[in-house]
């Protein structure tokens, strides 16, 4: 299955050193993952639990698998044994379930809290106010098997640069405030930016870009 090697090389050669490239392989066959793996790519992301579980079972074990979809509590158990980073934590209940399943698997699971920045109502996540309230709760102390690594955000699906800049700025400011509050020792990741908007996201502090279609082609 073809991948866009020119785009991959361009990304590898131009992304700043502090930005991690996450290859979003959702809906694409395992052979596409293998093609990029053979070029050295190790971070891949999926947004459906079943698809992630199936790919993980057949592909090399040194792949870092990220979950970037909307995660239902009752499905956490399927990915808990191996998932590297869960991006879309959007409720405290989900966080508690991830902690529980991590404990069962004798692991500490890395998570990102999802911040709602888009004006669209369809995107999940906490508002900045909800997030500030959440992280100040002592409740996190009990979650011994969770490593809160930062935030994930998704901008509106628009071409309007001004609007995108406003949304990315909101994410950057929220990220910086929580980081500076020093509540979480490893709060270093801001997952933000996709094929169409990753360059703008990087100018607003993104440390991890999630690139799908420009690497693997449009999804059907």
Of 169-188, which residues contact ligand PLP (CB under 6 A)? none
For ligand PLP, the binding residue among 3, 11, 19, 24 (CB under 6 A) is: 24
Instruction: Give me the least distance between CB of 156 and ligand PLP, in Å please.
Output: 13
The half-sphere exposure of 190 on its side-chain side, counting CA atoms within 13 A, is 25
Instruction: Give me the least distance between CB of 175 and ligand PLP, in Å please.
Output: 17
CA 130 to chain centroid, in Å, comes to 19
Considering the complex, state which of residue 26 and residue 145 has its C-beta at the smaller distance from ligand PLP.
Answer: 26
Phi and psi torsions of 110, nearest 5°? -75, 135
4 lines the binding site for ligand PLP (CB under 6 A): no
111 lines the binding site for ligand PLP (CB under 6 A): no
For ligand PLP, the binding residue among 4, 7, 15, 26 (CB under 6 A) is: 26
- Mark the segment that binds ligand PLP (CB under 6 A) among 78-86, 132-140, 166-174, 210-218: 210-218
20 lines the binding site for ligand PLP (CB under 6 A): no
The CA distance from 32 to 206, in Å, is: 26
Beta bridge partners of 44: 23, 65
Residue 153: is it exposed, middle or buried by C-beta count within 10 angstroms (0-12/13-18/19+)? buried
Two structure tokens written together for 89: 């934590």
């Amino acid at each position: 299955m073809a991948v866009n090697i020119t785009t991959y090389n361009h990304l590898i050669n131009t992304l700043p050193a502090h930005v991690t490239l996450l290859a979003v392989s959702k809906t694409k066959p395992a052979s596409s993952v293998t093609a990029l793996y053979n070029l050295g790519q190790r971070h891949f992301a999926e947004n459906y639990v079943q698809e992630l579980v199936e790919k993980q079972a057949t592909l090399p074990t040194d792949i870092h698998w990220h979950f970037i979809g909307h995660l239902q509590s009752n499905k956490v158990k399927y990915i808990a044994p191996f998932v590297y980073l869960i991006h879309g934590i959007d409720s405290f209940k989900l966080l508690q379930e991830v902690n529980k399943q991590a404990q069962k698997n004798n692991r500490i699971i890395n998570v990102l809290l999802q911040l709602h920045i888009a004006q669209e109502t369809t995107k999940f996540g906490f508002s900045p106010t909800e997030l500030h309230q959440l992280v100040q709760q002592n409740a996190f102390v009990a979650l011994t098997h969770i490593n809160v690594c930062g935030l994930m955000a998704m901008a509106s699906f628009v071409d309007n640069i001004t609007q995108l800049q406003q949304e990315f700025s909101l994410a950057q400011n929220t990220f910086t405030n929580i980081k500076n509050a020093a509540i979480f020792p490893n709060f270093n990741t801001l997952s933000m930016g996709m094929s169409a908007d990753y360059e703008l996201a990087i100018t607003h502090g993104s440390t991890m870009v999630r690139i799908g279609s420009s690497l693997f082609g449009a999804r059907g």
